[in-house]
A and B are shown apart, each in its own frame.
Chain A
Amino acid sequence: KQEVTQIPAALSVPEGENLVLNCSFTDSAIYNLQWFRQDPGKGLTSLLLIQSSQREQTSGRLNASLDKSSGRSTLYIAASQPGDSATYLCAVRRYSSASKIIFGSGTRLSIRP
């Protein structure tokens, strides 16, 4: 059974800092890994999607890495801004059921001005 764990559950940092959010998963046979952002009262916004054959993806100030062998992914946010405050969700899909996304419980990020 695939389980996805995110640490920490909550994080508060001052504006301008670089930060790392962590995600671990128990089954390395993943189809892909995705990082989402959720703002209060809104849906999920996809930030980065890493296919199983890839090691990392970058978009602007965001960089996500994937290490399947260790069952880990990190989301790196550079030069954090108050607008980055949201809940960040890590999610994986398995080859055995690639249509089903398995989510972690999320990291609630707060950037202090």
Chain B
Amino acid sequence: EAGVTQFPSHSVIEKGQTVTLRCDPISGHDNLYWYRRVMGKEIKFLLHFVKESKQDESGMPNNRFLAERTGGTYSTLKVQPAELEDSGVYFCASSQAGGGEQYFGPGTRLTVT
């Protein structure tokens, strides 16, 4: 069974540009989560989807970040416009149940120059 996959593995963009990250959860997992680790800090929660609905988006830093999960399958996280402080590693995770074990993808390393 395939694990959580993320695309791209690495993205380098200039300040002010737009970037879209994609996450494909494990098949059959209704719950999908986004986390990020910015330089020197711990990994922090961004948001949680249950199917296509946002269950908890309390960790989203500001309105430059937009997450979607149309159809309840894969999810995208768009950053528009990107700022220097958005650089970091963005992780996606999925789980069968809301409180169940989360399985993490390899992450997307975003570098904003």
- Residues of B contacting A101 in the complex (Cβ-Cβ under 8 angstroms): 33, 35, 43, 45, 93, 102
Stretch at the interface among A42-50, A57-65, A69-77, A78-86: A42-50
B104 on interface, CB distance cutoff 8 Å: yes
A43 touches B31 (CB 8 A): no
Q: Which of B42, B98, B104 contacts A99 (CB 8 A)?
A: B98
Contacts of B58 in A (CB 8 A): 100
Interface size of A as a range? 20 to 34
* A43–B98 CB distance below 8 A: no
Q: Which A residues lie within 8 Å of B41 (CB)?
A: 105
Q: Are B91 and A44 in contact (CB under 8 A)?
A: yes
Q: Which residues from chain B contact A44 at a C-beta distance below 8 Å? A: 91, 93, 104
Cβ contacts under 8 Å, A46 to chain B: 101, 103
Pair A106/B42 contact, Cβ less than 8 Å: yes
Chain B proximity of A91: nearest CB distance (Å): 8
> Is B99 a contact of A42 with CB atoms below 8 Å?
no
**A43 x B4 contact (CB < 8 A):** yes
A-B contact count (CB 8 A): 56
Asked whether, in the complex, the Cβ of B4 is within 8 Å of the Cβ of A99, the reply is no
The answer to whether A105 touches B101, judged by C-beta atoms less than 8 angstroms apart, is: no
- Interface residue? A102 (CB, 8 A): yes
- Residues from chain A with Cβ under 8 Å of B103 in the complex: 46
Contact between chains at A43 and B104 (CB < 8 Å): yes
Instruction: Answer whether residue B72 sits at the interface, using C-beta atoms and an 8 A cutoff.
Output: no
Tell me the bound Cα distance from A42 to B6 in angstroms: 11
Task: Please tell me which one of the listed residues B44, B99, B105 contacts residue A93 in the complex, with CB atoms under 8 A apart.
Answer: B99
Measured CB to CB, the residues of A under 8 A from B are 4, 31, 34, 36, 41-46, 49, 89, 91, 93, 97-106
Sample 17 A-B pairs with CB under 8 A, ordered by A number: A31-B99, A36-B104, A43-B104, A43-B105, A43-B106, A46-B103, A93-B99, A97-B56, A100-B33, A100-B48, A100-B58, A101-B93, A101-B102, A103-B35, A103-B42, A103-B44, A105-B41
